[in-house]
Amino acid sequence: MAKKSLRRLEEYLAKIAPENFNAALVMMGYGDLFGIAGRTLNFRTERMGVEDARKIVKIVRSYGEFSGATVARVLGMLASRIHAVEFGREYSPVLYVHYNPDYEQTVLHTLGYAKPDELDVVVSGLIRAWWD
Protein backbone atom coordinates (compact mmCIF):
# COMPACT_ATOMS: atom_id res chain seq x y z
CA MET A 1 0.00 0.00 0.00
CA ALA A 2 2.78 2.46 0.89
CA LYS A 3 4.56 1.84 -2.42
CA LYS A 4 1.31 2.42 -4.33
CA SER A 5 0.72 5.71 -2.49
CA LEU A 6 4.27 6.86 -3.12
CA ARG A 7 3.99 5.98 -6.80
CA ARG A 8 0.73 7.94 -7.04
CA LEU A 9 2.43 10.97 -5.46
CA GLU A 10 5.41 10.69 -7.84
CA GLU A 11 3.14 10.46 -10.91
CA TYR A 12 1.11 13.49 -9.86
CA LEU A 13 4.16 15.63 -9.13
CA ALA A 14 5.69 14.69 -12.48
CA LYS A 15 2.63 16.16 -14.20
CA ILE A 16 2.61 19.42 -12.23
CA ALA A 17 6.16 20.41 -11.35
CA PRO A 18 8.52 17.68 -10.21
CA GLU A 19 11.00 20.19 -8.80
CA ASN A 20 8.40 22.06 -6.80
CA PHE A 21 8.81 21.50 -3.06
CA ASN A 22 5.60 23.40 -2.29
CA ALA A 23 3.57 21.05 -4.48
CA ALA A 24 5.02 18.02 -2.71
CA LEU A 25 4.34 19.58 0.68
CA VAL A 26 0.68 20.28 -0.20
CA MET A 27 0.20 16.77 -1.59
CA MET A 28 1.60 15.25 1.61
CA GLY A 29 -0.30 17.67 3.83
CA TYR A 30 -3.57 16.77 2.13
CA GLY A 31 -2.63 13.12 1.69
CA ASP A 32 -6.13 12.03 2.69
CA LEU A 33 -7.39 13.50 -0.60
CA PHE A 34 -4.90 11.54 -2.69
CA GLY A 35 -4.98 8.09 -1.12
CA ILE A 36 -1.66 8.70 0.62
CA ALA A 37 -1.35 7.05 4.02
CA GLY A 38 -0.97 10.08 6.26
CA ARG A 39 -1.49 13.82 6.26
CA THR A 40 -0.27 16.90 8.08
CA LEU A 41 -2.91 18.97 9.82
CA ASN A 42 -0.76 22.03 10.45
CA PHE A 43 1.72 23.28 7.84
CA ARG A 44 2.47 26.18 5.50
CA THR A 45 4.34 26.30 2.23
CA GLU A 46 7.27 28.58 1.74
CA ARG A 47 6.41 32.00 0.31
CA MET A 48 5.75 31.88 -3.41
CA GLY A 49 4.74 34.25 -6.16
CA VAL A 50 1.16 34.60 -7.32
CA GLU A 51 1.48 32.41 -10.44
CA ASP A 52 3.04 29.55 -8.48
CA ALA A 53 0.41 29.96 -5.75
CA ARG A 54 -2.39 29.76 -8.33
CA LYS A 55 -1.07 26.35 -9.42
CA ILE A 56 -0.50 25.12 -5.87
CA VAL A 57 -3.97 25.95 -4.50
CA LYS A 58 -5.57 24.05 -7.38
CA ILE A 59 -3.90 20.85 -6.14
CA VAL A 60 -6.62 20.86 -3.46
CA ARG A 61 -9.65 20.93 -5.74
CA SER A 62 -12.23 21.00 -2.97
CA TYR A 63 -12.11 20.67 0.79
CA GLY A 64 -15.20 21.67 2.74
CA GLU A 65 -16.01 25.20 1.58
CA PHE A 66 -12.59 25.64 -0.07
CA SER A 67 -12.41 25.59 -3.87
CA GLY A 68 -8.90 25.57 -5.34
CA ALA A 69 -10.13 26.88 -8.70
CA THR A 70 -11.98 29.79 -7.09
CA VAL A 71 -9.01 30.75 -4.91
CA ALA A 72 -6.70 30.58 -7.95
CA ARG A 73 -9.05 32.91 -9.87
CA VAL A 74 -9.18 35.38 -6.96
CA LEU A 75 -5.38 35.37 -6.63
CA GLY A 76 -5.19 36.16 -10.33
CA MET A 77 -7.47 39.16 -9.78
CA LEU A 78 -5.06 40.39 -7.09
CA ALA A 79 -1.79 39.70 -8.93
CA SER A 80 -0.74 43.35 -9.09
CA ARG A 81 -1.60 44.02 -5.45
CA ILE A 82 0.06 41.08 -3.69
CA HIS A 83 3.68 39.97 -3.70
CA ALA A 84 3.73 36.59 -1.94
CA VAL A 85 1.41 33.80 -0.83
CA GLU A 86 1.70 30.90 1.59
CA PHE A 87 -0.78 28.03 1.46
CA GLY A 88 -1.27 25.29 3.97
CA ARG A 89 -3.48 23.70 6.49
CA GLU A 90 -4.57 24.65 9.97
CA TYR A 91 -6.74 21.54 10.16
CA SER A 92 -8.56 23.05 7.16
CA PRO A 93 -7.19 25.08 4.21
CA VAL A 94 -5.44 28.34 5.06
CA LEU A 95 -3.95 31.06 2.88
CA TYR A 96 -1.58 33.83 3.97
CA VAL A 97 -1.40 36.74 1.55
CA HIS A 98 1.44 39.26 1.67
CA TYR A 99 0.31 42.52 0.10
CA ASN A 100 1.10 46.18 -0.29
CA PRO A 101 -0.59 47.86 2.74
CA ASP A 102 -1.89 50.64 0.46
CA TYR A 103 -4.31 48.08 -1.02
CA GLU A 104 -5.55 46.49 2.21
CA GLN A 105 -9.27 47.11 1.66
CA THR A 106 -9.12 46.00 -1.98
CA VAL A 107 -7.29 42.79 -1.06
CA LEU A 108 -9.71 42.01 1.77
CA HIS A 109 -12.74 42.68 -0.42
CA THR A 110 -11.45 40.60 -3.33
CA LEU A 111 -10.40 37.68 -1.13
CA GLY A 112 -13.98 37.65 0.13
CA TYR A 113 -15.05 36.29 -3.28
CA ALA A 114 -13.35 33.01 -2.31
CA LYS A 115 -15.78 32.77 0.63
CA PRO A 116 -13.38 32.03 3.49
CA ASP A 117 -14.91 31.39 6.91
CA GLU A 118 -12.28 33.62 8.50
CA LEU A 119 -10.62 36.60 6.82
CA ASP A 120 -8.37 38.71 9.02
CA VAL A 121 -5.50 41.17 8.86
CA VAL A 122 -2.74 39.52 10.91
CA VAL A 123 -0.48 42.57 10.72
CA SER A 124 -0.32 45.34 8.16
CA GLY A 125 0.75 43.67 4.93
CA LEU A 126 -0.42 40.14 5.85
CA ILE A 127 -3.92 38.69 5.57
CA ARG A 128 -5.03 35.22 6.70
CA ALA A 129 -7.94 33.43 5.00
CA TRP A 130 -9.22 30.14 6.43
CA TRP A 131 -11.92 27.77 5.21
CA ASP A 132 -13.77 25.24 7.36
**Domain ranges, ordered by start, for the chain:** 2-130
Q: Report the C-alpha gap between 43 and 33 in whole angstroms.
A: 16
Q: What's the confidence (pLDDT) of residue 18?
A: 43
Q: pLDDT 10s digit of each residue in the chain, 132 long?
A: 466 666 776 676 666 554 578 988 998 999 999 888 889 999 999 999 999 999 999 999 999 999 999 999 999 999 999 999 999 999 999 999 999 999 999 999 999 999 999 999 999 999 999 999
SS3 48: strand
SS3 8: helix
Q: What's the confidence (pLDDT) of residue 75?
A: 98
Per the rule left: phi > 0, alpha: psi between -120 and 50, beta: everything else, 61 is alpha
Q: Report the C-alpha gap between 107 and 52 in whole angstroms.
A: 18
Q: Report the C-alpha gap between 129 and 40 in whole angstroms.
A: 18
